[in-house]
């Protein structure tokens, strides 16, 4: 499915790679990695965090970088990417694996004069984590289509949307607690969801209202994928960390009916803290972070980075966060030139020129 391709966080097909760049691939403590160092290295390093992935992420030294990362190599920056030692909501593993890779890079290539964090989707949250927790290492960060919110809230939202779907279409996708171990958001599941939504326009409209940026075309894939995230987190925590007993659906156009029909679940108290730990942003930025988002993102709504902007202001660090956006639909449908332009803005900001917020035209 198209939307799942985007979630690997690698963003867009590659056209070219900087000539004569040295490419190093291998494995560190179970995590595959790739390092690209340009022939004319400017002593800058970009640690790139990929997004949520259903399967293992591995790298082929024989394949060129995605154009969005290739443009950074063309600018003289080295790029280091970890595939993480676990798939799914692998924030815990990604933090350790990416830091291990960064230290490996320093040992092999020498200490960079500047290190930047960059990531997409879940990798955007990892970018924020890196800058918030290691300002002595990272001079700044670029979060692309980033899930910039408390993980507990973000994944609870996935549970709430799936519970609403089940209220309208009981048993179509099987149980929610727990989601069956063999559940996969494949094409057949997407088609079943799409057929169900076509049969009930009221339900389709209510569910679209719960997922800003969604359309009739992409909502089935979104619902299918959110169910997988719920399953994976349940498996990761060994229980059900989701609790919707006190959640009221509002603004759906069908509130009373939906709230009366939706099944209520209690969460496991021992499982709930996991997502809060991995990760709840503090907003306490000591270094600049630039976020770039599409206005109609059906999977990671722009309201999430909006919330992070408020979090930075509450922490007294609003001056260190800028959000820009493009007027486009889709999750991580950012063009390579837009990403490169935002990267240039971040570099200029580190040099003292704060970029403007708002639309990139």
Integer CA distances (angstroms), 76 to 19, 41, 62, 203, in order: 11, 5, 20, 51
The answer to whether residue 1 scores a pLDDT higher than 90 is no
Give the range among 14-18, 21-25, 44-48, 98-102 with minimum mean pLDDT. 14-18
**Structural domains of the chain ordered from first start:** 2-149+279-359 (3.40.50.1820), 151-275 (no CATH)
Q: What percent of the chain has pLDDT over 90?
A: 94
Number of C-alpha atoms within 13 angstroms, CB side, residue 131? 35
Integer CA distances (angstroms), 282 to 30, 34, 180, 288, 310, in order: 30, 30, 34, 14, 11
Provide the pLDDT confidence category of residue 2 given band limits of 50, 70 and 90: very low
pLDDT at residue 35, rounded to an integer: 98
The answer to whether residue 232 scores a pLDDT higher than 60 is yes
- As a whole number, mean pLDDT of residues 32-51 equals 98
The answer to whether residue 322 scores a pLDDT higher than 50 is yes
Q: What pTM was estimated for this model as a whole?
A: 0.94
**Nearest one of 83, 94, 131, 80 to 287, comparing CA atoms:** 131
| Mean per-residue pLDDT over the chain, rounded | 94
Provide the pLDDT confidence category of residue 361 given band limits of 50, 70 and 90: confident
| Phi, psi (rounded to 5 degrees) for 2 | -55, -45
pLDDT at residue 21, rounded to an integer: 84
Provide the pLDDT confidence category of residue 105 given band limits of 50, 70 and 90: very high
The answer to whether residue 44 scores a pLDDT higher than 50 is yes
d(CA 240, CA 243): 8
Q: What is the pLDDT of residues 239-288, one digit of tens each?
A: 999 999 999 999 999 999 999 999 999 999 999 999 999 999 999 999 99
The answer to whether residue 200 scores a pLDDT higher than 50 is yes
pLDDT at residue 19, rounded to an integer: 53
pLDDT at residue 158, rounded to an integer: 98
d(CA 58, CA 310): 36
d(CA 18, CA 210): 43
Provide the pLDDT confidence category of residue 20 given band limits of 50, 70 and 90: low
The answer to whether residue 91 scores a pLDDT higher than 80 is yes
Q: Are 74 and 38 in contact (CB under 8 A)?
A: yes
Give the CA dihedral 41, 45, 49, 55, nearest 10 degrees: 40
- As a whole number, mean pLDDT of residues 125-146 equals 98
């Amino acid at each position: 499915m198209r939307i799942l391709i985007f979630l690997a966080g690698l963003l867009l097909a590659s056209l070219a790679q900087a000539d004569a760049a040295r490419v190093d691939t291998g494995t560190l403590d179970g995590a595959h990695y790739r390092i690209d160092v340009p022939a004319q290295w400017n002593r800058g390093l970009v640690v790139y965090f990929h997004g949520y992935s259903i399967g293992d992420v591995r790298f082929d030294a024989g394949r060129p970088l995605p154009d969005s990362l290739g443009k950074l190599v063309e600018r003289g920056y080295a790029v280091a990417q970890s595939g993480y030692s676990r798939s799914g909501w692998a924030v815990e593993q990604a933090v350790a694996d990416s830091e291990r890779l960064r230290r490996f890079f320093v040992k092999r290539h020498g200490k960079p004069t500047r290190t930047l964090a960059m990531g997409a989707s879940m990798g955007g949250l990892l970018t924020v984590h890196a800058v918030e927790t290691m300002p002595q290492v990272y001079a700044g960060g670029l979060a692309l289509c980033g899930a910039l919110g408390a993980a507990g809230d973000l994944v609870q939202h996935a549970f709430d949307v799936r519970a609403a779907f089940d209220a309208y279409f009981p048993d179509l996708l099987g149980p929610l607690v727990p989601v069956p171990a063999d559940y996969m958001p494949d094409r057949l599941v997407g088609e079943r969801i799409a057929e169900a939504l076509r049969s009930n326009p009221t339900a389709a409209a209510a569910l679209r209202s719960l997922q800003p940026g969604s359309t009739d075309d992409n909502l089935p894939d979104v619902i299918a994928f959110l169910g997988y995230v719920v399953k994976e987190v349940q498996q990761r925590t060994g229980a059900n960390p989701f609790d919707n007993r006190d959640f009221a659906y509002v603004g759906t156009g069908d509130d009373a009916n939906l709230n009366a029909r939706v099944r209520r679940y209690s969460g496991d108290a021992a499982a709930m803290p996991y997502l809060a730990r991995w990760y709840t942003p503090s907003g306490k930025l000591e270094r600049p972070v630039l976020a770039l988002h599409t206005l109609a993102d059906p999977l990671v709504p722009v309201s999430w980075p909006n919330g992070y902007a408020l979090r930075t202001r509450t922490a007294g660090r609003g001056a260190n966060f800028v959000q820009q956006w493009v007027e486009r639909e889709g999750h991580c449908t950012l063009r390579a030139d837009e990403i490169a332009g935002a990267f240039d803005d971040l570099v200029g900001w580190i040099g003292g020129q704060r970029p403007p917020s708002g639309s990139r035209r």
